[in-house]
Amino acid sequence: MGLFSGKVVIVTGSGNGIGRAHALAFAKAGASVVVNDVGGARDGSGRDAKAADLVVEEIKAAGGEALATSTSVSDLDGAEMIVWAALNRFKRVDVLVNNAGILRDRALVNMSVAEWDAVQDVHLKGSFLMTRAFARAIKMQGGDGYAIVNTTSVSGLLGNYGQANYGAAKAGIFGLTRTASIELVKLGCRVNAIAPVALTRMTEDVPRLAEMGIEGMGPQHISPVAVWLASGLATGVNGRVFGVHGAKVFEYRMAQSDGLEAVPGGGDWTPEKLAQHLPRFEMT
């Protein structure tokens, strides 16, 4: 018996890296897991269903239950087929972990429209399509205790050179998380997000992470946070974003300064007055 005994968890992008670690962790906690991965390269090119199949084999070898799917979250039919596969095999869904992602890094002035669209489609559109399909399923099921864990990034929350497409998509996922957490609470579903930093094939060319190695910055550090957020141990935690950098766990928050309620001395704001009072608008 575990935290997720009798429950069904969908993890997208779970053929490698962080997603694979998620799938294995949820299975260890007793869940039946839908392992979804198209099996492409980190830029999204190519297809290989074996990526998901291999993780399913790992779970089954450890005595768990799992199902592999290889349709793309960026495609309407593909996303809905993932949820349908869970319902068809396990007769219910309880948790969705939106983890699928690709990278096509390039400086903004050199970025192509195709590079922009590809990243938006997998990260942001994919998270939307999966969230909508999952929400419709739990609405039909009824009850409560459901959870969604999205994946944002420091690149979307604070920015990072060469990742305008990725950062914009991840910032969008922050907004999606906040709004979905408000809307889906009536369906008995909490929605939170993690912003992980880990050494995987997506980040293997980042020198600092390579130096710290798998032991210090491997995906095994990320999954306990995802499992916790999806579990009953996080009841009441909703609409929040937790950063995970190796063993370090912390929370991100959007903050608002006190600002000024009106123009000092009366009248309307002008560019000159705004410049004059800038220190009063800033965070303290």
pTM: 0.92
pLDDT of 197? 84
The answer as to whether 1 is a domain residue is no
The answer as to whether 3 is a domain residue is no
166 is catalytic: yes
The reply to whether 263 and 241 lie within a common domain is no
Domain that holds residue 181: 8-253
The reply to whether 270 and 219 lie within a common domain is no
The answer as to whether 2 is a domain residue is no
pLDDT in tens, 180-221: 999 999 999 999 999 998 745 555 555 565 455 455 667 888
The DSSP result for the chain, as a single string, is: --TTTT-EEEEET-SSHHHHHHHHHHHHTT-EEEEE-----TTS----THHHHHHHHHHHHTT-EEEEE---TTSHHHHHHHHHHHHHHHS---EEE--------B-GGG--HHHHHHHHIIIIIHHHHHHHHHHHHHHHH--S-EEEEEE--HHHHT--TTBHHHHHHHHHHHHHHHHHHHHGGGGTEEEEEEEEE--STTTTT-HHHHHHHHHHH-GGGTHHHHHHHHSGGGTT--S-EEEEETTEEEEE--------SS-TTSS---HHHHHHTHHHHS--
The reply to whether 206 and 268 lie within a common domain is no
Q: Can you tell me the mean pLDDT for 161-189?
A: 97
The reply to whether 136 and 266 lie within a common domain is no
pLDDT in tens, 103-158: 898 999 999 999 999 999 999 999 999 999 999 999 999 999 999 999 999 999 99
